[in-house]
Structure 1
């Protein structure tokens, strides 16, 4: 069997199209998994509002740590 570049290009295209479709479907399933088995997953959301300092120099790691602690979040 003679393998030329055109056949190789076609076969690789089929492979990549199959991978794209499979990964797209699995991504959609992962993104919406709480709709199919809601008894297994819980989603908690909380609306927060943060007042940021006007000066960019005050946006440091310490500021972020204090902000995280104020929300009761651990690392």
Structure 2
């Protein structure tokens, strides 16, 4: 009877250790992912966008390929 209890306790300790180790692995993986994203963002700085003049209200801008005005 004591042997069964010891076996059961050992199994529970093993399961607890595996769960804790799994949680630590998840935390480490999440931290590594976050660090990779930060490094990638730091390396790929966005190129400056040209400033655009907003279209005044009431005007409609159409962009076409044809040369209608020439």
**TM interval, short-chain normalised:** 0.3 to 0.5
- Calculate the TM-score normalised by the size of structure 2: 0.44
Q: State which structure, 1 or 2, has the greater radius of gyration over its C-alpha atoms.
A: 2
Taking structure 1 as the reference length, the TM-score comes to 0.42
